[in-house]
Chains A and B, each alone.
Chain A
C-alpha cells in the first residue's frame, strides 16, 4: 500500500540554518502531542513514517532492508554458539575470550552492534551466570541477535535481580544450593555473554557439532545443562 500525497506546494519552506538539536527533557509532552495525531494502528503508523521520511530525504528503504535482513538472517544466536564452541575446543582462545571478549572476537572477524565492550562470563560447577538489563533491555546483539520477548518484559527484568533462583526454575533450571548465582545487570554499555559448560561425552565432537548444542538461553544464563541429544542444527 502506498500513500497518495497531494503534491505539496513547490515552494520549499526553508528554516533558518541553525543546527537542529534534540532535547529529551520534555519528551513526555512530545509523546502526548504526537500521540494525539498518529493513527492508532501501529502498522499504519510505520508505513506513514517510512514513506514520509523517504520523501523528506531522511531515510532510504534500502538501508532499512539492510538492518532487517542482517538481524533476520545473518546475526543471531548461531554467532554466539560458534564462539562458545571455539572456546570449548581451543583453551588459549577461551583464555583470551574471558580476558577481553571484544579483542578475541576480532580474531574471528566478528564485530557488531554493542560488541565494543563485551565481557564473557564462564559457568563452572560452582558458578552460574545470568544476564539481565533492569533499566531497559540491553543485550549483546552482535553475538545473539535480537532479544527474546521475555528478556524485554518487566517480569524478567524486575525478578532476575531479586529472585534469580525462582526465575531460573521457571526456565527449568533448578540449581543446587552450593552453586552460586552471579547476575549481571547491564546498566552501562558493557555487554555480557555467558559461556556455558561443555556437556560431558562430547570429547571427540567437532566445533560445528558442538555449536549445534548451544542454546540461545544458555548464553543468557536461563539454560544450564546442555543436552547432547537435541543436535542437528
Chain B
C-alpha cells in the first residue's frame, strides 16, 4: 500500500528535534499503552505484519500527528474490535457487555511477560531451494506497488543496486498479512545514493535496504 507511512525520501518534514537522552515513556498512559499492546491476548493469526498494516491505515492526519504509543493503542483496539474480542462500545466505557471472548488463549501472566520481554523471536524459516542471487549481483527492483501491506519502500522501486548480503529465508510480510505463511530469500541490497536521488549523483554514500527475492531481477 502506498500509504502515508512510506516516507523514505519525501521532503518537507522540516528539521529534526534532536535529543541525546529520552525518558522511555513521556507519560504514564504511554507506558500502559505500550505494556498493554505487548501483553494483551490476541487472536492466533495476529502478527507484527498485521499490526504494522493496521497502523499504516490510521487516518493520515492521525498517523502524522498523534503520539506514537497512541497509535499503538489504536492498532490494538482495531485488532480487538476487528476480531470480535471486544466491541467499540465496550472500549468507550471500559465496561464489559457480559460476553466473554472465545477461542483465544488465557491472559498472559507475569511470568509469560517476563519470558517474552527477555526472549528473542526468529523470523526466518524453512526454505527448500537455493537463493537466486549472490553477493555482488546487480539487481533491478520491481516497479510494482503491491496492494495491501508491503515492506518494499517506494523510493527503491525501479532502481538498480548490488546484493551485499543474504539473510536466509524470512517470512514474507505481503503473504503473512493474508495468513499465508511463506519464507523467501531475503537480501540486503546496496544502492548508490545518487542512483536513488539524482541530486546526489557522484556521491560515494550508500543506502542499504532489505528486500525479498520476489522483488528482484538481474539488472540488464
- Could you list which residues of chain A lie within 8 angstroms of chain B, going by C-beta atoms? 3, 5-6, 8-15, 17-28, 30-39, 42-43, 45-60, 62-68, 70-72, 75-76, 102, 111-117, 134-137, 142, 145-146, 148-150, 152-159, 161-162, 164-165, 167, 170-172, 180-190, 215-217, 222-223
From B45, B59, B74, residue with most partner A Cβ within 10 Å: B74
Q: Report yes or no: B107 in contact with A64, Cβ–Cβ below 8 A.
A: no
Q: Which residues of A contact B77 (CB under 8 A)?
A: 34, 38, 49
Q: Report yes or no: B33 in contact with A46, Cβ–Cβ below 8 A.
A: yes
Check A18/B210 contact, CB under 8 A, given A34-B78, A60-B108: no
A-B contact pairs, 26 of them (CB 8 A): A13-B98, A34-B77, A49-B76, A53-B36, A55-B96, A57-B106, A58-B101, A60-B110, A63-B39, A64-B32, A64-B36, A68-B32, A112-B117, A117-B170, A142-B120, A146-B22, A149-B17, A153-B17, A154-B64, A155-B16, A158-B8, A158-B13, A159-B13, A164-B193, A182-B208, A183-B208
Check A56/B101 contact, CB under 8 A, given A67-B38, A67-B117, A76-B24: yes
Q: Report yes or no: B78 in contact with A3, Cβ–Cβ below 8 A.
A: no
CA distance A154 to B97 in the complex (A): 39
Chain B interface bracket (under 10, 10 to 19, 20 to 34, 35 or more): 35 or more
Interface string of B99-136 (1 = CB under 8 A from A): 11111101111101110011111111000000000000
Check A63/B24 contact, CB under 8 A, given A22-B83, A24-B50, A58-B85: no
